[in-house]
Amino acid sequence: MKLKKQVTVCGGAIFCVAVFSLYLMLDKVQHDPASRQNGGGNFPRSQISVLQNRIEQLEQLLEENHQIISHIKDSVLELTDTGAVPPSGQLPFRSANGSWVLPFDGHPTFLSVKPQDCQFAQGRRGHTDLQMLDIYSLLKFDNVDGGVWKQGFEITYEPGAWDNEPLQVFVVPHSHNDPGWIKTFDKYYTDQTQHIFNNMLVKLTEDPRRKFIWSEISFFAKWWESADMHKQEAMRKLILGGQLEMVTGGWVMTDEANVHYFAMIDQLIEGHQWLEKNVGVTPQSGWAVDPFGHSATMAYLLKRANLTSMLIQRVHYSIKKHFASSRSLEFMWRQSWDQESGTDIFCHMMPFYSYDVPHTCGPDPKICCQFDFKRLPGGRVNCPWKVPPRAVVEANVAERAHLLLDQYRKKSKLFRSKVVLIPLGDDFRYDKALEWDQQYLNYQRLFDYMNSHSEMHVQAQFGTLTDYFTAVYKANGVPQGVRPPEYPVLSGDFFAYADREDHYWSGYYTSRPFYKSMDRVLESHLRGAEILFSLAVAHARHAGMEGRYPTSDYTLLTDARRTVALFQHHDAITGTAKENVVIDYGNRLLRSLQGLKRVIINAAHFLVMKNKDVYRFYQTEPFLETDDGRATQDSLPQRTLIELDQSGPRYLVLFNPVEQDRLCVVTVLVNSVRVRVLTEDGQTLPVQLSAQWSSASQMSAEGFQVCASFMVRLPALGLAVFHLYDSADTPMTLRSETLLRLTGQGQTAHAVDPLPLRSQTADPQLFYISTQSLTLGFSGTTGLLESIHRKDDPQEVKVQIQFVTYGTRSSKDKSGAYLFLPDGKAKPYSQKEPPVVRVVEGPLFSEVVAMYQHFQQTIRIHNVPGVDGLSLDVTTMVDIREQSNKELAMRLVTDIQNDDTFYTDLNGFQVRPQRTLYT
């Protein structure tokens, strides 16, 4: 085969030389006067005309054969596969085995695959005392009744345990304010949060012994903007004086499961920069009482933000019990890859069920509830244990103090120091001036009594979170943030969370996936807009044109950063907020997305102009259009149609927001099948045309819309301009080959000329799509993935995609936004009619689309080098709006022998091992 191709190429080359020699000879005869004057060189004019016509025909024939010769030459190049990528102007072609082959240019690709890429995740782990994977395998995750501490055990102590070293008690008042949950962010602020700040200003000032902590900077910044200078200064004085501590300092108390590390960092930066600019403080301690499980990524980020200590609360009750029994509730949290201690941060895990007052003073909620003085008789909140609080007066202060101290002592026995932390608060507490008086006055009477009776061996006071951690470090004789002697080191994370029984809070991983996706879209636009805006402003300053560039776009960036930050709240991206709140979040996301697109358009407009002297900014007439748009906050994005005509080119500007050159396939929507794409230097790119579809088996004929895909190489952090023409067909324009696999039950395929479309009756045999790197096998019955075969791997891997459904149990507690409570094992998804399966094959990409009643899945592979060429692009569009109490899940079944260990992503920050605990 190889010799045959070489002979063919050589023959073609000889043919070309002979023809061109004839052309040059005839051309010389026609235009050389001396030759015509010689007798032997005179031709009749009629013969010259005939020869000229034949030569023109020959030139045309040579042009048509040029591409054929290129194909033949490229066939030889295929045999010496270099793994490079196609240069502009060279055609893809079909190899002997039917797969598309791309010519190569030898340049390095974006994100090439290297053997060492995965070695880091599998590398040697640093030594830790507590490895969460090992602990998960040890625990039974049962729910044994522990007495008054239902999820724990009975705590006892020796009365003289504090004779030599008194117990230090830090009662930390707090109010957990969700930036959207039952009410919207603005509604919460108007109804409750603003009153908390106003009361805080008055009540903390009344007594310097009073302390408070605050977490959500989004709310604090909103109050600050409406406060006058005197209130701002008074609040600043409370913070700088240590009475009010800003803990964590993030824009929100972020979710830690669904969020990407980019947004986790961004919301932290937004809050910290705001505090530094307006108050002049930097947070020292982290406070996370309500995220539904805790990620090691957050510990890492807090450490890198120079926090020295942190607190977590929502951890599986079996883990809390296990840690409490070994007094390991305080530990140094270390990242799994850390061989030393550079990532260590001191962490306190709250031991009991909740962060409310009944579950924070000690193990017995019936007693602790009696010391939540907001629940005094006559109020709107009472104690479920039917024993109400009593105001502390001289007649009962001794009995009340001893009863409360007993709880403090029992709680302290779960920790290694004689310092105990007692949070005092709940959701949206302290919004009434009355509660400030109820809590602070009654507790101060208790503190005064305890502190004045030395035989009780206790020192109790209000404190901030950092006050508590400082006392722990001091008691252990170590500097701030340093590991106390004998305290354990832990690595791992705390997912999945269950607060009771088998109520695993894993439902929120997938709740409202539309908005989870929209969040990621906004994050990517934000990063791109920040880069382009920075580049444009730098160029404008360098050119002395800063006054002409719209630097006011920075406010759009700020708004978008705060919208992204707000949506990381643990009731936003999780999907656990009420419907009206979700709509409010959606409108904020859409508004910010539109603003970012304006920033991107303005920056790209300025940067692509070679002659910036003619630059003009028009607010109402943007120079560019964006690639897609959304009509409403809950609508899917619609591609922008690029309308081509004969008048001239349309210009396409592409931006690469990563710091490496990038090779990728770009798809645009055009109104013509006669598409030609040129680079800035005039080279024609191969284009793959494929249809838009109005239904499962009918191509869209509306305005004749076609998807044009082409491969581009984009510079790092750079822009590239491409020219799109409506021109006659060229050999560089290739149409996708589409096959519809139908059931034969009255279904017909409807094509739109000139896009080719074939149909056949579906059969149960496997069918395949291939690129230079991958071959995918699909079920002939379901149209879903069955296998993956890499070109450089002799073994085919079974990777079977299945769709299954879960019902929910019939008891009171059902699956929902928070919980996943199935009624049993998953059942295979089924529908009456077999699916319609569409198979699209082309030089740049191939895909299989399986269309079912409740979902449509597209699996696409790209014919490009590097990671993109070894990756599957899986898109599943789901519509189960008419379903009730049903969960639709996608399952992967493989023949990989992993011994129940798999690797999963953690916030886009690292890959971590995980073990299957149950099925």
User: Which residues are the active-site residues?
Assistant: 290
Residues in a beta bridge with 876: 857
- How many angstroms separate the CA atoms of 161 and 410, rounded? 11
**How many angstroms separate the Cα of 621 from the Cα of each of 86, 148, 551?**
38, 69, 17
Q: Give the H or E element holding residue 712.
A: strand 706-714
Cα 682 from chain centroid (whole Å): 38
Name the phi and psi angles at 725, rounded to 5.
Answer: -120, 150
DSSP string, 322-355: HHHHTT-SEEEE--TT-SSSTT-EEEEE--SS-S
DSSP string, 561-626: HHHHHHHTBTTTTTS-S-HHHHHHHHHHHHHHHHHHHHHHHHHHHHHH-S-GGG----SSS-SS--
Neighbours of 229 (CB within 10 A): 7
Q: Using an 8 Å Cβ cutoff, are 573 and 588 in contact?
A: no
Nearest 5°: the CA angle 86, 711, 601 is 140
Q: Give the H or E element holding residue 449.
A: helix 433-452
- How many angstroms separate the CA atoms of 517 and 878, rounded? 13
Q: By C-alpha distance, which of 767, 707, 764 is closest to 739? A: 767
Please return the burial class of 158, using the count of CB atoms within 10 Å of its CB with bins 0-12, 13-18 and 19+: exposed
Structural Rg of the chain based on CA atoms? 35
- Three-state SS for 678-706 is ECCCCCEECEEEEECECCCCEECCCCCCE
Residue type, position 126, single letter: G
Longest dimension (CA), the chain: 141
CA dihedral defined by 679, 680, 682, 683, rounded to 10 degrees?
-30
Nearest 5°: the CA angle 681, 683, 688 is 135
